[in-house]
Amino acid sequence: MGSISKLPDWFNGTIYDNGDTVKNPFSGEEYELNALELSMYDFIVGSQLVFEMMPGNISEKGIREFKEGLDWFKENNLEAYKILLD
């Protein structure tokens, strides 16, 4: 597991107190995330849903934050990123 840094200043999603196990819906693989990783994971997955369901509501800021969220996840826990998001 990587060394966890704080969430980025732009992050305005829910910050959880506890982590949890997350399952990749495609592969079925699971990974235990800490609270910060789970907060960012939910932000990323939520962004993906908004992009798919409401493509007309996608802003440059939303796309930038989504990409920065993926980068944050790669930097902080590459193994979890590969299992859950790659």
The pLDDT of residue 86? 86
Token readout for 8 is 């980025």
Mean pLDDT for back-to-back runs of 10 residues, the chain (86 residues):
72 94 95 96 94 89 95 95 94
pTM, entire model: 0.89
- The DSSP code sequence of 23-46 is E-TTT--EEEE-HHHHHHHHHHHH
| Residue 5 pLDDT | 65
